[in-house]
Amino acid sequence: MKLGRAALALLLLAPCVVRAVEPISLSLALAGVLTTYISYPRLYCLFAECCGQMRSLSREALQKDLDNKLFGQHLAKKVILNAVSGFLSNPKPKKPLTLSLHGWTGTGKNFASKIIAENIYEGGLNSDYVHLFVATLHFPHASNITQYKDQLQMWIRGNVSACARSIFIFDEMDKMHAGLIDAIKPFLDYYDVVDEVSYQKAIFIFLSNAGAERITDVALDFWKSGKQREEIKLRDMEPALAVSVFNNKNSGFWHSSLIDRNLIDYFVPFLPLEYKHLKMCIRVEMQSRGYEVDEDIISKVAEEMTFFPKEEKVFSDKGCKTVFTKLDYYLDD
């Protein structure tokens, strides 16, 4: 669990909150304390988040968040809406839900995972039951891959034991050492129980830039043929995207058993954003900061961004990632 809960709860119940990414030694040391106060769930839940207090997912609320906050991603929105709502409405899923989100930086992958977390737990990414792993931060050294595998299994086992509906987000999969992610293969498979723990209600989300070239190629082909991007179907991308990621030596999914054994439920493509989508991002950001929408400023910020390919200049090369800092310049002017 994560730190930062009510001070009174900590005084009453002892400092036993454990983050998923803390050292395993600390997690194990505190496990006994956790067992002690778990006998008093009503008292504990008055002061801190409890697994049983997760939100009852509203499909309508999730769709509204996706529509209002995620732009230019009709495929991702449809897949996420159907996959997450369907999974959570199933009382006895056969396996954990696994989503692999792919696309260029700034297209909305991290934002989509944030929306999912917020619609399941009130604390969103700060919830005790949502765990974020960043490849370059948590698994930096190739020489330690064996140690990382052991730690990763223990972290996931411990958190799912505490809450079956745990969410695990793996960012920068394209920077993860090949073979490391295969350590969690048993947890994603069609097993009722693994070492006395059931993982069937957990959610695993992988974020990666790998496969972005393939996604862009399809989107550009549609644009050149005069078709609307909304005409792109998942079947136009998903099979080739899975193969592209599997064969990418610079991806954490390179020759991964997770793909080979079909344990990833959906490969979700995030399309490169166009000029109009950048304007949508800027407009919403202005509104969220309490500013009156100024279309002149919105256009100026969007026009400062760079686009590709070199000749056509159709897609933004950074998406919505840097528009907010550009916006700061005009709002402070």
Residue 136 assigned as binding residue:
no
Residue in the block written with tokens 């930062």:
4
Residue 110 assigned as binding residue:
yes
Report d(CA 168, CA 100) in Å as an integer.
12
Contact 88, 98 (CB under 8 A): no
Residue 106 assigned as binding residue:
yes
Amino acid at 223: W
Residue 107 assigned as binding residue:
yes
Residue 108 assigned as binding residue:
yes
Residue 306 assigned as binding residue:
no
Partners of residue 171 on adjacent β-strands = 134
With vertex at residue 88, the alpha carbon angle to CA 207 and CA 239, rounded to the nearest 5 degrees, is: 45
**Helices 145-162 & 24-37, crossing angle to 10 degrees?**
10
With vertex at residue 96, the alpha carbon angle to CA 141 and CA 88, rounded to the nearest 5 degrees, is: 130
Contact 304, 326 (CB under 8 A): yes
Residue 123 assigned as binding residue:
no
Contact 196, 93 (CB under 8 A): no
Residue 104 assigned as binding residue:
yes
**Binding site per annotation, positions:** 103-110
**Binding site per annotation, positions for ATP:** 103-110
